Amino acid sequence: MSAQTDTPRKVSMIGLGTMGGAIARHIAQGGHELTIYNRTPERARKWRDDNPGLAHRIAANPAHAAQDADVVITCVGNDDDLADVVLGPNGVFRMLKKGGVFIDHTTVSARIARQISVEARDLKIHCVDAPMTGSQIGAEKGTLTLMCGGRDDAIEAARPIMEGYSSRIVHVGKAGSGQIAKMANQICIAGNVAALAEAVRFAQASHLDMGKVYEAISGGAAQSWQMDNRWKTMDAGEFDFGLAVDWMRKDLGLSLEEGRGLGVSLPIAALVDQFFSEIQAQGGGRLDTSAIIKRLPKKGK
């Protein structure tokens, strides 16, 4: 996307990992004045060097990033990381002005999303929890799907910025709702990728042409994003892309914790979480989630 905007704004991006770094590029290419910050300073400097001319400045800390900003976006690791960069002594909310917009793209608990929303309300800051899906490819192309929680006015204040790197923005409900939707998303992914792994091993063991099997089954009820994007790479034993097993386990942990609080049983999510723990034990925590197939012995080839 990265369409030129008619109303350039001062936007700060905190967290320059795979997803955050791509989002930052779209923001700058959309005509906004971009400030960047990463808790590992080397990563921020590398991003600046790899993207010459896009960053207006590198901030010294989150509060410095929020100084004079119209919009602050975070994409960090977990609840503790988010609490630190937003609510900590040098956090965003120390400096973000009244009427400013805060957008969080981290996948975290609904609890911390609600806590930050309450703090934002008291400071008269527009606050949106907007976890995303669409993978690294979606981030690079600007076609992410954002699941948003927050007040109507906050969503509308954030929308012009979010449209620069997403193709779908869904206002799910009040604060924390975006995180609940993302948990449901991860539960679906976990079940899909685990079943796909079994299907690939099954077809391999049957000595069938894997391309023909895919052609036969991908146009019907078995079709899924995982099948379209991971069948061939699973068959080839390639797992060096997409969401890492370590991060999926973090996300499933959030889902299972929320489920316990709701009194909801999630037996498939719990089982697949155990499967992913086996991949971690094999040293595959940084591999793509499709590496779940490595726990199944390969036969017939």
The Cα–Cα gap between 42 and 89 comes to: 22
- C-alpha closest to that of 146 among 128, 130, 164: 130
The neighbouring-strand residues paired with 14 are: 37, 74
Helical spans, DSSP H, in the chain: 18-29, 41-50, 62-66, 79-87, 110-123, 135-141, 152-162, 177-205, 210-217, 225-236, 245-262, 267-281
| 98 catalytic per annotation | no
Q: What angle do CA 206, 211, 214 make, to 5 degrees?
A: 85
> What's the half-sphere exposure (Cβ side, CA atoms, 13 Å) at 92?
34
The Cα–Cα gap between 227 and 206 comes to: 18
The enclosing H or E element of 146 equals strand 144-149
The Cα–Cα gap between 25 and 141 comes to: 10
Q: Which of 182, 232, 298, 301 is catalytic?
A: 182
Helix axes 177-205, 245-262, angle to 10 degrees: 120
Residue numbers annotated as active site: 182
